[in-house]
Structure 1
């Protein structure tokens, strides 16, 4: 004898939920900073050629902010410019840092004369102290133009919107581009140090000798 169990009239199924309701909303990652290069390319930051710098400073109300390390600035600087270094010398003497310094000296330091540096954690604070008015027109400068791009990115993120960038840095400067220079070197040579500095001096001397012998 077969026992027949009562069958339900219908099988209960959970209601279908649209797929879009099951998915979690996707949010694009928040970008905290825009690169200095993007700011210059987009026109948010003005690119100033070295030959235009004197006019920008004298007639257009720009203030110059030099972000080079102190040992470069000591060699040559524009008189009246403000100074807040983006990088400072790393004074840590722990074993790992000493090893890094030794490698840096062997591969870079002896040739360029550049010291082992670290990012200046107080950069933004010092900029705010030197330039409390964020509406100020600021021409940001360095030796080659790379460090100033980084500085521009940070300053723009802090609310400075009237920024200029010295295109190519002091390395592209020629005599007469700036009102008055202080220091013992030409601006375009201030970044160069170590063995490369003496090689450069030799090349300049040979060039002068070649001109005189003609």
Structure 2
């Protein structure tokens, strides 16, 4: 007998306008996870994001992230963040998405004060 999960499986990607809405409303359990390198975060960042570089995710994810949170990963253009989102889902973090276009798209569509590099 198959059981239907009460959790909704989210799509792998979310656009930056949707992320902006989640930030503005203070969505419960929402985490914006920046997986870029430290020098990139020094260059440009989204306020309120949690920074864990991609290379540190395997050693830090289970200690620093709640598997029940809605986690949105972000990088420069959306490639590394998608890899991290897929890995986190494989580890049991079900509500993980990657922000399409990365911080570059955020700078264009949401906050032009965030530098592009």
- For these two proteins, the number of residue pairs brought into alignment is 107
Residues 169-180 of structure 1 mapped to structure 2, 5 A cutoff: 169-174=102-107, 177=110
CA 1:71–1:129: 2 relative to 1, 3 Å: same
CA distance in 2, matches of 1:137, 1:52: 13
4+ residue stretches of structure 1 with deviation over 6 A? none
Report if the CA contact (8 A) 1:141-1:148 is conserved: yes
| 1:17-28 aligned within 5 A | none
TM-score in terms of structure 1 length: 0.45
| Aligned partners of 2:45 and 2:103 also within 8 Å | no
For 1:146, which of 79, 94, 99 is the aligned residue?
Answer: 79
Whether contact under 8 Å (1:45, 1:165) holds in the other structure is no
> Higher relative contact order by CA 8 Å / sep ≥ 6: 1 or 2?
2
Q: Which residue of 2 aligns with 1:25?
A: none
Kept in 2, the 8 Å contact 1:66–1:81? The answer is yes
Kindly name which structure, 1 or 2, has the bigger radius of gyration based on alpha carbons. Answer: 1
- Measured against aligned partners, the alpha-carbon deviations of 1:129-186 in whole angstroms (never above 9, x if no partner) come to 221x2011101100100000110111111100011211111111246726xx9xxx72
Whether 2:2 is the aligned partner of 1:68: answer no
Is 1:163 aligned to residue 91 of structure 2? no
When the two structures are superposed, what TM-score results if normalisation uses the length of structure 2?
Answer: 0.78
Unaligned runs of 5+ in 1: 1-42, 87-119, 193-214
RMSD of aligned residue pairs (Cα, Å): 2.3
